[in-house]
Structures are given as C-alpha cells and as structure tokens.
Amino acid sequence: MKRKTIAASTLAALGLLGSAHAAGVSDDVVKIGVLTDLSGVYSDLAGNGSVIAARLAAAEMGGKVLGKPVEVVAADHQNKPDVAANLAREWFDQGKVDMITDFPTTSTALAVMEIARQKSKVTMPSAGVATSILGEKCSPLNAQWTTNTFALGAGTARALVQDGKKSWYFITADYTFGHSLEQDATEIIKASGGQVVGTSRHPFPGNDFSSFLLKAQASKADVIALANAGNDTVNAVKQANEFGITKKQIVAPLLTYISDVHSMGLAKAQGMYLTEAFYWDYDDASRAWAKKFYEQAKRMPTAAQAGVYSATLSYLKAIEAAGTDDAPAVMTKLREMTINDAVIRNGKLRADGALVHDMLLLQVKTPAQSKAPWDYYNVKAVLKGEDVFPKPSAACPLNKL
C-alpha cells in the first residue's frame, strides 16, 4: 500500500495523473500546432511539408474528433529555442492549441516540452531526435515519435562495421543534436568492434566543410561519419565528392532524409547506407499515403514529415478512444495502443516517451538502378525496434516508477 501511495504521488508530481478527466473536447476544438522551420536549413526536410502532413491526418479523421472540429496551425521557430518557447506559450495560453509536433532541432523541442508539461499539453517531436529528450528532461506528456539518434546510428554503424569498416572519423554539427548523434553512434561503433580515430565539430549551420573534410581524409579512417543534417549534410557530401574523398573512404551521413538525397543527386549519393523510419516506396500502404502527400507537396515526403502525419493521426485516435482531449488521459491511451499506419509499424510508446518501432536499413541506388523520380533506395533490411532503439535511461524518472 505504501509503495502504491508513493508511486501515485510521483505520477501526480510528474503530471501523469490529474483530477477527474473531463469528458469531451475542451474549448470545442482540437487544435494541432506544427512548430517547424519554414525558412531555414531544415525547411526542406520539415517545413511546409510537415504542415501538409498534419492536415492530411486531420482530413483522414474527417476533420473532426468526438464531434468537434480539428484545426492545424503552423509557425516558424527559426531553429531558436527562445522563439519556440514564446510561440508555444502564446499557442497554449491564447490559441487553444492542444498538441505541438515536428520540432526540427532538439533544442526547440526541449524548450517547449517543459512548458507543455506545466500547462498539461502534449508534445510529439518528429524531427527533434536527440536522445536527451528521453533522459533527465523526459516528460510524461511527450512522445518522440519518429526516431532518435541512437536508432539512426545503430542501423548504419553496425552494418558498416560488420562489413569491415572499423575506423571512423566524425564531422559533427556543434550543438545538441550533433553531439547526441556522435555520442550514440560512437557507443555502437565501439560495441561492434570498431574505433573512432578523430572528430571535427563545425558551426551550425555550416557552409564550408573543406578543412574538416581534409582532416578526415588525412586520418585515413575507413568511414567519415556526418553527424549533422539537412543542408549541412548535403553540402558536406557534395564537397567530399569534389575532393575525391568518396573514391577511397566511405562518407556515411547518419541522418539523411530523402530530400537530402534529392538535393545531392544519385551520382554523388549512390551506395550510401542510411537508416530511416520511413521510405515512401516501402509497401502499398506507404505508397498510397505518399501519393496523397505528393499531390499537394509535389515531392515525396521525408521521414520527418511522414512522422508528423503519424503522430497527428495517432493523437486524434487516442482522443477518440479516451473520450476526452485531457492530456494525461490521451497519453495513457497512446501508451496502450500499438501503432500501425502508413508510416510507423509495430510501434509501442514507452513511459519515457520513446516510440519503439521497426526501422529500415537503406542503400542509395545508382543512377542506372533508379527507374523514376524519387526511386532512390534499396531496402537492405527491416530492423526490429527492440534491436535498434536505446534501452530506457535511468536518468529519466519515469523509468523508475
């Protein structure tokens, strides 16, 4: 009895328990906020495509849940935590927003998660992928929906080390996400029998990677790992090709979206291994949804954009199942559900906010192998979620209950 009382007190303090859950929809509207990068380095992988994805999810529900309208609003956080925090406060306090999703850059997600917890609102990062979200900053009202840096590194790093590529050099974006991706991938490389021989950290965003690439080339490492994303990844790969590095060393971007490969071109990206949560041409369900997205966006969706769709759809279904948009009640339903949709397969939401699900190990096709626009990947393996997602961290208090 004493243990139950302590556990209930802890849950209440963390925001998992509330008073009696009010049935129905507060404010007579369910409002989804897409907080994204509409104009900067990550606008290609998220941006307006994420807004389209959220609206497709709302439309799939008939534009209503529990008889009340679903609305989607969007704003540009400019990849700045203070801007993201101010927008979130305004949305929560005045805009009747119930859930915020997307968050390119983990720092913006972390800035909003605490505000959302205090105001009993839900956050569902799709593009904010650092594992710090699941650590000491974890929130009972947060779900890191699409992937994280550990899962991204696990698929690619293990595959290359097992292929004999033992020595690694990192070129890393010098902020939270880049550090997390480097740290998680390093853990996997060492556990698989490889070694890291050097690291260079570049400012975010970066344009000129020549000095970092030359250091990596001089290291004679088997693999030059890019712990960055978006335009930083695209520019680094293009410059590596210009220096002829890819003829002797493997360049391995650890977070690569299909929009990045599209910008690089298959001639430069061919042969690269990458790990993704979603590929539009994986099966009939992914192709059918991607066709709807393409009709509006005129391009195929990235995994981050697809994750916004899945997060929004699952959130609305959880409201329907709970009979209320009360945040703790909705999160309870999300944790009870198995997520299977056009994007996420065999997904289960853990207490710490990690959505554990199957991932894809992909290899970029050669120009000759590609039969149509956006036909960019060969699926090399389906990676089971329990094999690639990190174990629950002791740093997250939710894992101690």
Which residues does 132 contact at the CB level (< 8 Å), separation at least 6?
106, 110, 176, 180
Pairing of strands 355-356, 348-349: antiparallel
Which residues does 369 contact at the CB level (< 8 Å), separation at least 6?
378
Q: What is the pLDDT of residue 17?
A: 44
Q: At what angle do helices 303-322 and 47-60 cross, to 10 degrees?
A: 30
Is 101 in contact with 54 (CB distance < 8 Å)? Answer: yes
Q: What is the pLDDT of residue 165?
A: 96
Q: What is the pLDDT of residue 401?
A: 57
Domain residue limits, the chain = 30-147+282-353, 150-276+362-386
Q: Name which of 384, 394, 393 is nearest 158 in CA terms.
A: 384
Q: Name which of 269, 251, 167 is nearest 212 in CA terms.
A: 251
Q: What is the pLDDT of residue 213?
A: 96
Q: What is the pLDDT of residue 8?
A: 43
The per-residue pLDDT string of the chain (401 residues; one tens digit each, 9 = 90 and over) reads: 344 444 444 444 444 444 344 579 999 999 999 999 999 989 999 999 999 999 999 999 999 999 999 999 999 999 999 999 999 999 999 999 999 999 998 999 999 999 999 999 999 999 999 999 999 899 999 999 999 999 998 989 999 999 999 999 999 999 888 999 999 999 999 999 999 999 999 998 888 999 999 999 999 999 999 999 888 999 999 999 999 988 889 999 999 999 999 999 999 999 999 999 999 999 999 999 999 999 999 999 999 999 999 999 999 999 999 999 999 999 999 999 999 999 999 999 999 999 999 999 999 999 999 999 999 999 999 999 999 999 999 999 999 75
Cα dist from 319 to 17, 51, 166, 261, 316, whole Å: 16, 20, 48, 37, 5
**Reported pTM:** 0.91
Check if CATH label 3.40.50.2300 holds for domain 150-276+362-386. yes
Q: What is the pLDDT of residue 230?
A: 87
Pairing of strands 30-36, 167-173: unpaired
Fold of 30-147+282-353: Rossmann fold (3.40.50)
Q: What is the pLDDT of residue 247?
A: 82
How far apart CA 69 and CA 124 sit, in angstroms, is 20
The tokens describing 263, both together, are 């910008």
Q: What is the pLDDT of residue 22?
A: 58
Cis peptide before 203 (omega within 30 of 0): no
The tokens describing 335, both together, are 């944790």
Is 290 in contact with 38 (CB distance < 8 Å)? Answer: no
